[in-house]
Each structure stands twice: as structure tokens, then as C-alpha cells.
Amino acid sequence: MKYFDPHIHMTSRTTDDYQAMADAGIAAIIEPAFWLGQPRTHVGSFEDYFLSLVGWERFRASQFGIQHYCTMALNPKEANNPDVADGVIELVQLYLEKEGVVAVGEIGYDDMTAAEEKYLIAQLQLAIDHELPALIHTPHRDKKNGTLRTLDVLRDMNFPPHMCLVDHNNEETLAATLDAGVWAGHSIYPNTKMDEDRMVKLVHEFGSDRIIINSAADWGVSDPLKVPKTAAKMREAGIGDDVIAKICWNNPVEFFAQGGRLDLDKIEVAPKVDQTRLHEGNSVLRGQKPVVDA
Amino acid sequence: MDAQDIDARAAAFADAVQGPGRAWLGSACGGLSAGVSATKIRVAIARAGRELGDTLVDVTAVVQDPALAGVWRACDAGRAALVLRAATVLESEAWLRFLTDAIRRGELSEQVSLLRMLPWLPDPAALTDVAVDACRTNSEPVFAAIACENPFPAAHFYDGAFDQVVIKAIFLGVSVERIVGLADRVTAETARIATDFADERRAAGRSVPADVDLVCNLAAKRSGSNNP
């Protein structure tokens, strides 16, 4: 079975992760634009990061046979920085047009401030203007309140529910998220947020419609193999392969293809691995024999 | 080039684009009027990839030499039309700034288009520094866009920069025969760099690319023809 991880920050991960992901059957990923773990101090830092999402990371992933797409946005945390916020929004309008960008994201609340709300609304409007789906981050602190507030904003804006993926759900938020008609993402982590066993319970209770899972692996303690691992737990719990394939492949493909930027034919074909190709003169190899698919 | 010439050239490039993208291109070019923001042009350039695609088109009306015209994709022709149109609505300094920026901040396909079109823009010599800088990329398609099937380096690069194009082509495994005007620009210094590279490869027990000999022969021929 092939897997799709639609929320993973590869910029923080090594090629060991890429190799493990490829070995585990992960064939496609989406890397959302987010913060880097510490605040950026220049608008230009965002631009160079955006360029790497449509350049180096896409190339690096292809060297392991993985199709890489990304999303673009001013993330919730850095929306609070008045020195960069407006400049980044201007950049986002341009970078949403670049090849490989499938959605606006990650947007949403972090601390529930007025600035976060302002830029959440502004970027939902950008999603409408650019006819792209939106990937929404829900806060990790005061999550239930933050999620409900997010759903209110979406309703007030008449944002089309089928174009919205509200991520990082848990037992407290999933019912409301699904009731709002939006897609529901779940980030499976080693010790925090959601885990495999609890995810299996949610699937038993709520089914698989509009259910998406991801690893949200980043610079913290996280695991880029959580999608195949959760699939394995689902299998163990007696959930059928068709349901697992729906959650781990068909659902993310269907959601993100709505912007017209994800080629439905291309996504089904594993890219040929050719590690002799260089990007900006940099190979991912350091002395190993290059893998070249026939 | 006066505004009329630029417009004619833009139209010739746009004409090469057939199919559904043609209407999009016409509208995008028409949307660039006096006072247009650099961002708006860059959005159009980004979109051109998706709207026009990668199929090869016939730009011999402008590029003339079929060997050079043979690499032009629909998105290249479309982006050339957009950049030329921009030259008629922006002041030359603002246009230069926009173009330099677009090259530096383009993703790979955009960079290929922008470098490919340089010889056919107004006052190409003003873009020499940007073009020399672009050769620092090691992304093969971007390097090939400036180094191959492109008269720009032979026409405008100073000797040292041209030598770098040649040695880099050898290094990347890009055929030096694709470098336009090679025979007229190789010097004894080019041959020296190529020969040193060959020595390095032999010392490492690796093969020496055939292009090294080709470069040395051309250099010898050129210096021979300078001697009465």
C-alpha cells in the first residue's frame, strides 16, 4: 500500500528520514509553510524559506522517489510579529502561484490574539481569491476553544467547508469539526497530541469520511513514519484495507487536488529515482553509489 | 530597440504559443500597463508555467537559427512576451530591477525561461552581471539555459567568465558543443584550465571527458589562425 503524509516539515528532517519514509511506502508528502522553531526577523527569511519549499526540498524528496508538494502562508505564531507580517502576506500572494503549491497554509490561531485572527481571515480570503483549499492549524493550548473559534470564523466568512482542512484534531474537537462539514486532520505524535491507538478509536467511532492523518514531523520529537504506523494499528484492529487506503491516500489526494495544482495522474506514478541528478550543484549523496531506477 | 520594435518582438514570441494558453497569454500581456507592479508581472511569469506548459514551440521568427530555437518551450515564449511587454510599460531602471529580481527569485522553470530570453531583450549587455551570476547555479537545466543554445555568453561575457562556463559545462557533463560561439572565444587560458582538470581526473583514477580535447583543439586552432 502506498501512503500520503499531507503534513510534514521535511526542512527539519535528514535524508535518513527520507530513506525510511520511502522504505515504508510513503509516496507523496505535503510540506506546509510554518515557523522554524525560533522567530524569523526579516521578511527575506520567509522568502528564502518559501523558495526552498518549491526548490531544494522538492528536489531532495524526488531523490528518494517521493512526490513533494507544499503550502504557503504566514503561520499563526509569526502573525504576531508586526515587523514582518504585512511583508510576508505580500510574498504569499506571489508564492501561492509557484509550481508545487497546493494550498494556503498553515493558518489559524496559536495564542488567540487579534493579530492572529486578522491574518487568518486575510489568508482565508487569499485562498478564495486564488481558488485554493486552506490548511488550518488549531492551537495546541486551549485547543477546544481555539477550534470552535476557528469554525466560527469559517462560518462567518462563508468559507466553503469542502475546501477547508482543520488539522490537529483530538477527542474534544473532532465531532464539532466534522459537524461543520470541513475535513479533519490528525497529527500522530510519539508522546503528545494524538497517538495511533486513540486514532483507531476515533476511526471506529466516526468512520473515514473526511478523515485525514499525518505525522506533522518537525524539529521536535516526532516520527515521520507515523502514517504507516497508524495504518498498521488500524489493520491490527480489524479495519479493512479499503478504509485504510481511503484515510491514508484517497482522502488527502481528493482534498488537496481541489486547487487544481495536484495532478491526479502524476500522483499515482512513483517518480523515477535518479540520484545522479544535482540541484544547485548539491547532491544528496556523500560518496555513496547513486541509486538510479531503470 | 524602440518601443515599436519591442512590441513587435513581444508579439512574435506570443504568436508562437498555440492552443488554449494563447488566450491566457494575450490577456496577461494586456494586463501589464503603465505603473504595473513588479509583483503582478512576477505572478504572470509564475502562472505561465501552468497555463502554457512545456511543449516545444517555433520561435524562429525571432531567434532565427533553428539550432537555438529548438529548445524553446511554450512557457519560455510566453514569458519572453511578458518580459518584453513589461519593458514597454516600465522605466528602464525599474525594468532592470524587476528582471534581476525575477531571475534571482525564480523557481527552476522560471529561471530557465528568463535566462534563455536574455539575448532578445532590449540592451542585453546591461544584464551581463546577472547572467554571469546565474552561471553559479549547479542546477543543470538552469545552467544549460544560459550556457547552451544561447548566444549571450559569447557576445557579452568577459574572458574569465566565459572560461568558467566552459569548465563548468565539462564538470557537469554538459556538451561544450552546445556552447554558442565557443570556437571564437576559447583562449590559451581556457585550454590551460581544461588541461589542468584532465590532469586532476587522471590523478584520481577517473576518466577524462572528451570535451577537454575538443576545447584544446579549438584553442590551438584559434591561436594558430592569429599567427600569420
> Residue A282: pLDDT band by 50, 70, 90 thresholds?
low
Query: Are the Cβ atoms of B39 and A279 closer than 8 angstroms?
Result: no
Query: Are the Cβ atoms of A279 and B107 closer than 8 angstroms?
Result: no
Helix (H) or strand (E) holding A72: strand A67-72
Among A51, A90, A98, pick the best mutation site for testing chain B contact (most B Cβ within 10 A): A98
Q: How many residues does chain A have?
A: 294
Query: Are the Cβ atoms of B43 and A278 closer than 8 angstroms?
Result: no
Chain B nearest C-alpha distance from A98 (Å): 6
Of A256 and A294, the one with more pLDDT: A256
A28: left (phi over 0), alpha (psi -120 to 50) or beta: beta
What was the pLDDT predicted at A80? 96
Of A90, A98, A278, the CB nearest to B46: A98
Q: Name the grid cell of A253.
A: 489526494
Model pLDDT for residues A15-73, shown as the tens digit of each residue: 999 999 999 999 999 999 999 988 999 999 999 999 999 888 887 898 899 999 999 99
Model pLDDT for residues A177-227, shown as the tens digit of each residue: 999 999 999 999 988 889 999 999 999 999 999 999 999 999 999 999 999
Our measurement of the distance from residue A115's CA atom to the centroid of its chain's CA atoms, rounded to an integer in Å, reads 23
Give A-chain residues touching B109 at CB under 8 angstroms. Answer: 99
DSSP type of residue A33: -
What was the pLDDT predicted at B224? 83
Nearest residue in A to B111, CA atom: A55
Q: Give residue for cell 508564492.
A: A95
Q: How many CB atoms lie within 10 A of CB B171?
A: 14
- Scan residues 149-208 of B and list those with Cβ closer than 8 Å to A: 172
Query: Are the Cβ atoms of B139 and A281 closer than 8 angstroms?
Result: yes
Model pLDDT for residues A102-121, shown as the tens digit of each residue: 999 999 999 999 999 999 99
Is A280's pLDDT higher than 80?
no
Kindly state the average pLDDT of the residues A82-103.
95
**Distance, CA of A80 to CA of A97 (rounded, Å):** 25
DSSP type of residue A246: I
**Predicted complex ipTM exceeds 0.85:** no
Our measurement of the distance from residue B73's CA atom to the centroid of its chain's CA atoms, rounded to an integer in Å, reads 13
Nearest residue in B to A278, CA atom: B139
Nearest residue in B to A263, CA atom: B50
Helix (H) or strand (E) holding A22: helix A15-23
Note whether B140 contacts A: Cβ–Cβ < 8 A: yes
> Residue A271: pLDDT band by 50, 70, 90 thresholds?
low
Among A69, A279, A285, pick the best mutation site for testing chain B contact (most B Cβ within 10 A): A279
Query: Are the Cβ atoms of A281 and B107 closer than 8 angstroms?
Result: no
> Residue A287: pLDDT band by 50, 70, 90 thresholds?
low
Chain A nearest C-alpha distance from B138 (Å): 4
Model pLDDT for residues A124-181, shown as the tens digit of each residue: 999 999 999 999 999 988 999 999 999 999 999 999 999 999 999 999 999 999 999 9
Our measurement of the distance from residue B212's CA atom to the centroid of its chain's CA atoms, rounded to an integer in Å, reads 23
Chain A residues within 8 angstroms (CB to CB) of chain B: 47, 51, 54-55, 90, 93-94, 97-100, 261, 277-282
Express the helix, strand and coil content of chain B in percent, nearest 5 each.
70, 0, 25
Q: Please provide the average confidence, as pLDDT, over all residues in chain A.
A: 93
Is A278's pLDDT higher than 80?
no
Please report the DSSP string for B15-54 in residue order.
HT--STHHHHHHHHHHT--TT--HHHHHHHHHHHHHHH-S
Query: Are the Cβ atoms of B140 and A278 closer than 8 angstroms?
Result: yes
What was the pLDDT predicted at B218? 94
Query: Are the Cβ atoms of B107 and A282 closer than 8 angstroms?
Result: no
Of A99, A261, A281, the CB nearest to B107: A99
What was the pLDDT predicted at B107? 82
Q: What is the pLDDT along chain B (228 residues), one digit of tens a residue?
A: 899 999 999 999 999 999 999 999 999 999 999 989 988 999 999 999 999 998 999 999 999 999 999 999 999 999 999 999 999 999 999 999 999 999 988 888 899 999 999 999 999 999 999 999 999 876 778 899 999 999 999 999 999 999 999 999 998 889 999 999 999 999 999 999 999 999 999 999 999 999 999 999 999 998 887 655
Nearest to A207 by CA among A230, A188, A184, A227: A184
Give A-chain residues touching B43 at CB under 8 angstroms. Answer: 93-94, 97
Q: Name the grid cell of B146.
A: 544560459
pTM value? 0.82
Beta-carbon contacts of B171 under 8 Å, excluding residues fewer than 6 positions away, are B197
Query: Are the Cβ atoms of A93 and B50 closer than 8 angstroms?
Result: no
Chain A nearest C-alpha distance from B174 (Å): 12
Q: Calculate ∠ Cα A98-A101-A106, nearest 5°.
A: 125
What was the pLDDT predicted at A284? 66
Give B-chain residues touching A282 at CB under 8 angstroms. Answer: 138
Our measurement of the distance from residue A128's CA atom to the centroid of its chain's CA atoms, rounded to an integer in Å, reads 19
Rg (CA), chain B: 19
Beta-carbon contacts of B204 under 8 Å, excluding residues fewer than 6 positions away, are none
Give B-chain residues touching A277 at CB under 8 angstroms. Answer: 140
Strand order in the sheet with A26-31: A3-5, A26-31, A67-72, A101-108, A134-137, A164-166, A183-187, A211-214
Query: Are the Cβ atoms of B140 and A277 closer than 8 angstroms?
Result: yes
Residues in a beta bridge with A213: A186
Nearest to B211 by CA among B164, B169, B155, B183: B169
Q: How many CB atoms lie within 10 A of CB B224?
A: 8
Helix (H) or strand (E) holding A103: strand A101-108
Q: Cα torsion at B192, B196, B198, B199 (round to 10°)?
A: 140
What was the pLDDT predicted at A277? 56
